[in-house]
Amino acid sequence: MALLNMDGAWIAIGISALFIVAGVVMHRVFVNILKNGSQEPIQND
C-alpha cells in the first residue's frame, strides 16, 4: 500500500476522521436537545 506512505494521505485520513467525530458529537447534541426540549424560557421583548 504505497498510498499510505505519503504524508498527504495521512493528513486526509486525519481530517476525515476529525469530521466524522465532529458529526457524531453534533448529532448526539442535537438529538439530546430535541428529546429534552429547551430548558430556558424564550423571552420576547
pLDDT tens track of the chain, all 45 residues? 677 778 888 899 999 999 999 999 999 999 998 888 766 666 666
First to last CA, the chain: 62
The set of residues, in sequence order, having a beta carbon less than 8 Å from that of 35 and lying 6+ positions away, is: none
* CA gap 12, 18 in Å, rounded: 10
pTM for the model stands at 0.63
Secondary structure class of 24 (helix, strand, coil): helix
